[in-house]
Amino acid sequence: MKSAQYANTCFGADLSTIDPDIDQIIKLEEERQARRLILIPSESYAPAAVRQALGSVFNNVYAEGYPPLRMTRDDERLLLDLSHQLAYYRRYADRRFYKGVDYVHFVETLAQRRCAACFANERVSAENIYVNVQPLSGAAANLAVYDALLEPGDTLMGLDLFQGGHLTHGSEFNVSGRRYKVVSYGVSRATERLDYDQIMDLAKEHRPKIIIAGYTSYSWAPDWRAFREIADAVGAYLMADIAHTAGMAVAGVYPNPVGIADVTTFTTHKTICGPRGAVIMTTDEDIASLIDMAVFPGLQGGPHPNKFAAMAVAFQIARMECFRDLQRQIVVNARALADALLKRGMRLAYGGTDTHLVLLDLKGVDTPTGFLLYGEPTARILDLCGIVVNRNTIPWDEITALGTGIRMGTPWITQRGLDEQDMDTLAGLIHRIVTNIHPFSYQGLAGELPRGKIDLDILEEVKCGVQALAEKASAETPARGSGYPHYCFLSTEAPVKTPVLVPAMANPEGGVEAAHTTAALLDDSDLGLLRVSGWRAEPFLQQVSTADVAALRPGHALRTFILDREGALLDDVAIIRRQPDERGRDNYLVLTNPANSERIKAWFRALSDGYVLFDNDDVFRKVEGPAMVEDLDEDVEEYERQVAFAVYGPQAETILRKAIPQLPPLTPRAVWQGDIEGAEVTVARLGYQAGAPHFEFIVPAGQASVIWRLIADAGAVEATSPDTRHALRREVGLPDYDGDVRPTGLELYRNGFAAWFDLTTPYFVGQDSILKEVTLATDKARWEWEEPEGPPRHTPLYDKHRELGAKIIPFAGWEMPVWYTSVSEEHQAVRQAAGLFDVAHMGVLEVSGEYATHFLDAVTTNYVRWLEDGQSQYTYLLTPEGKVIDDLIVYRRRADLYVLVVNAANAEKDWAWLNAVNSGGVVIDLDVPARSVEGKAVLRNLKDPAAGADQRVDIALQGPAALSILQCLTSDPRQRDALARVRRTDLIEMDLAGMNLIIARTGYTGEDIGYEILVHPDEATRLWDLLMVHGAPFGIKPAGLAARDSTRIEAGLPLYGHELAGPYDINPLEAGFPGYVKFHKPFFVGRRAMIEAAAQRSREVIRFRLNETGARALRGGETVVNRRGQYIGRVTSCTLIGATQMGMALVDRRYTEPGSAIAIYPAPPRRRRPSAKPPAELEPGDKVVLPEWATILTRFPEEEGEKDKIATKRFFPAHE
């Protein structure tokens, strides 16, 4: 029967049969937990018995409500009298909404009674502890207590979140902080410990209704009696949140609050070592009833009966002596770890610990770079080593993302059997990492982005130390021995691989002779063979090797060097580029020398991760990535294993044609992939010198001997590969790598291997060490630009503007509408309905071809490779001196096709600059004038009639009704849906009303809903008319340049010539957009100048609003002073918005605090010059200039909620 198919297929079937993918991921997680040292204080290992109960059939039952009240009061022995309980149940039923819960009652009430027994003490017996085990998490438990005992607006008091409080203790991001008034207490600045006198004073001042004690990252146990006294003094409930420390409280190594606190909450997955869940306890029956109602039906629906079962098991374990021993050792280990760190000169937040956790204070770490070391990069690098911690805020931190603490706990590692001696070893490993990180920061869209790097050898040393400690520790599930990409180590003791295809011969000289006279068959199976793949594999290899890998097409190969950060040789390698995979990811093979294979593999992987030092002069740089780096001898399935061998000599081609007729003639550096004897084989003509008869074979390991024999039988002489290969390498000057002394890149460049280098490429690791000593000849010129003169130009909509009665003015060489009715009316239309702007004067340029991305990443400041098809980004063009050429938007249509929309005033200049760079004729780097971009892109001006059907001009539709208006252009529901799904800054291409359009959800008004529509100029008027007709019911209005200016000023967006470049030479960092200048890129034009500007930055653009209405219109250039009358800067833009003027100014960055007062001195009218006399000499009839007072606003409206609709900070994609 078909109805039986499900049961036959699924009932009793193993996970590995039903879903092998999830089965594999679970096994990998089991291995992670065995091979990592997990120091997250809020995590522990739930024993198998707990997990067995959690995975039981109780998962299948719905149990809304509560068990019979009688059962919640029975002792455990009576609860387990099943006959008794079921007799009562059948007669009196329960408090559930569902039937079929006969046995759920047992597991829930057993969990309650066992929990009560764990926490019973001299103050209160188990039967007087009321327990609710239904909360799904600690947060849910805490919120249920508030819901039971507080009214919205009541005051709750807890520890400051930056100093160890929990989100539910009053965070503004949590419902606790939004629903209730929050008062936070903190630690003493003098002692970094709780000061109960200060807490008492604070409580008396604010009279909270609940006082919360108990913490997530404060390392000392609270004094419950002191908190009880404080709560009693103000008539507050005392709530003990012992989520972290419940297990220790049960064991008596942490003070038990039950019987002192009115309510106690905790989670069962931390030191209780049980399932994920939470418990609420109280000794007050009335409070218990309120809490039960708050949990269900107040906040939760159906509970998780399987969790009840697992909780019951966990509480059973918690009553065992071994559990108490565990908790004691957790505390001992935490103290030992703290002492070991202090012994090594580390500073601890709060001064130490008497609980399960330790907080490392990174502010006390001296760093090699002078940057402050933050928690996030430290936690990331420790995690790479196998030490799992979390960053944390500690006292006096002010921004969560910039926490300077590392929080570490000992529950999990103590469960695994590690002791005090192991804590000392662990502290040494942590100290080794923390004191060797080179910290630095980028500026992101939302603020500072702390980062850090470390030396590869130190990283690998600590990884091995962690692995040894993890192997010593107990693990319920043994490690599977997984390799890359899960685990990888640089082993300095690993033996060098030996060839496996042919035994050693007695006469190695015969191989060399054959290589010179006939053809030698060389066993290269000892070479390392790496597959480097990924969407960024090409730029990755370009930046780690000395040759021009970007020029390498699929089906070609080259030889190159790999240098370290000192410029010393790591290896010489062969790189073969194969066809991309089915997802379009680049695919390379890299052949390494046996002595260097392990280090190159580790170097590549670490550079891909992005946390190792590789440039002594510039810590900001990152090699592009990530890339997958797989060892084809170790990291793949058996059927994928590959090995190499080579045929070398003047007769090689003849012999190969005889042995393998299907192999075509190969020119130097050419690659063939094809079938030989049923095996997929790669053959590359890849000599150490140009044109050398050297053919490298990459073959499946299982079929290598067959193909080897085929070639040997055709006449190739089998040779002792290492000896012959070394001899051939010595002949051309390549090292044997049999000692510690290796040549530098500079020595290799000067000694015959210049062809293996491309020193003009934008960047490779070790390049600077060579360029410091080598001057490259170049005929490149410094770029110069003169603005052309000519008659005013008109957009395709010029006649339409005249027809609509627009006020026309000259602007950037164009005659454009400044307004149609009034600026204020058009501004309001944009904010409340929609404004339609003619921006067809803007430049529209196309960059395409295989080098398009390389080109754009070199000439713009943002990171173009972040973009996917249908995405855009805001960016800048800079000169080599760091001067702003223009700001622009880059739209990616395909991986090899981009559209740039540039300012009208700069379109010709941008076009000339881009063409000059693309031609290779101008200097793009003042330090290395010969430097060039990689390859050549294809550039087109899409406003030029020569673009034909591809011509485009820009029309902007901005405002909350913009989407609805656009959707009116089609009756196709699929197109309407597609338009609605276009995310901020994304674009879509479609035909609407018979017009082919590129529609981007971008704009320069700050509106969240707004579009720029690229249309053929012949269709521009028709599109305009359709939008006006369909937009009429929505309130659309044509809008001119003045409304575009007022909306962008309100949104805080810069205008070229005002807040960018212009008379004050404002750069993007000063304009407030450092997040769009990506210093992680190894090179872009103007990068060095921008780094210097960032280090010396003293000015910043602000927004301001005049305090009073009716003031004379302010103009750019007018003087800004602070409240003390000190000159601080100049106005750059100002406009009237409503009744008040709003503007932007460039000021001393010391005076940019929002809310601060500034004064602006307007320039007096020429016909009414004020007196120049000192105030003491003024006479009747004299006049003086009085300032207009203003208030500094946040840099962007969204930061202060000034206008929810103005989405400035989301104007550009936030790839970070």
Return the number of other C-beta atoms located less than 10 Å from residue 786's C-beta: 7
Residue showing tokens 């012994």: 343
Query: In Å, what is the CA distance from 245 to each residue of 40, 272, 350, 641?
Result: 13, 8, 17, 50
Query: What spatial distance separates the first Cα and last Cα of the chain, rounded to whole Å?
Result: 55
Q: Of 114, 270, 1044, 1078, which is the active-site residue?
A: 270
What distance lies between CA 918 and its chain's CA centroid?
32
Question: Does the annotation count 267 as an active-site position?
Answer: yes
Cβ-contact 291, 237 below 8 angstroms: no
Q: Of 27, 32, 51, 64, which is the active-site residue?
A: 64
Q: Of 276, 497, 742, 984, which is the active-site residue?
A: 276
Give me 33's structure tokens: 């937990």
Cβ-contact 274, 50 below 8 angstroms: yes
Residue showing tokens 């970070």: 1216
Rounded distance between C-alpha atoms, residue 1073 and residue 609, angstroms: 27
Dihedral sign, CA of 320, 326, 327, 332? positive
Rounded distance between C-alpha atoms, residue 874 and residue 1075, angstroms: 10
Cβ-contact 998, 1195 below 8 angstroms: no
Burial 454-493 (b: 16+ CB within 10 A, else e): bbbebbbbbbbbbbebbeebebeeebeeeebeebbbbeee
Rounded distance between C-alpha atoms, residue 426 and residue 1044, angstroms: 60
For every residue of 3-20, DSSP letters joined together read: GGHHHHHHTT--HHHH-H
Phi (first) and psi of residue 345, to 5 degrees: 85, 10
In single-letter form, the type of residue at position 1034 comes to F
Query: In Å, what is the CA distance from 921 to each residue of 143, 780, 907, 910?
Result: 67, 5, 20, 15
Q: What is the three-class DSSP state of 492?
A: coil
Strand order in the sheet with 938-941: 871-878, 884-894, 897-902, 843-848, 938-941
Dihedral sign, CA of 164, 168, 170, 174? positive
Rounded distance between C-alpha atoms, residue 775 and residue 792, angstroms: 47
- The candidate with the shortest Cα–Cα distance to 33, out of 477, 481, 482, is 477
Instruction: Give the DSSP letter of residue 261.
Output: B
Give me 770's structure tokens: 């060579």
Q: Of 31, 192, 241, 718, which is the active-site residue?
A: 241
Rg, the chain, Cα only? 36
Question: Does the annotation count 62 as an active-site position?
Answer: yes
Query: In Å, what is the CA distance from 955 to each residue of 325, 386, 797, 943?
Result: 73, 54, 10, 13
Q: Of 30, 62, 950, 1148, which is the active-site residue?
A: 62
Phi (first) and psi of residue 797, to 5 degrees: -100, 10
Cβ-contact 1006, 891 below 8 angstroms: no
Give me 889's structure tokens: 């938007």
In single-letter form, the type of residue at position 1046 comes to S
What distance lies between CA 186 and its chain's CA centroid?
32
Q: Of 72, 267, 393, 1132, which is the active-site residue?
A: 267
Question: Does the annotation count 64 as an active-site position?
Answer: yes
Catalytic residue numbers read 62, 64, 241, 267, 270, 276
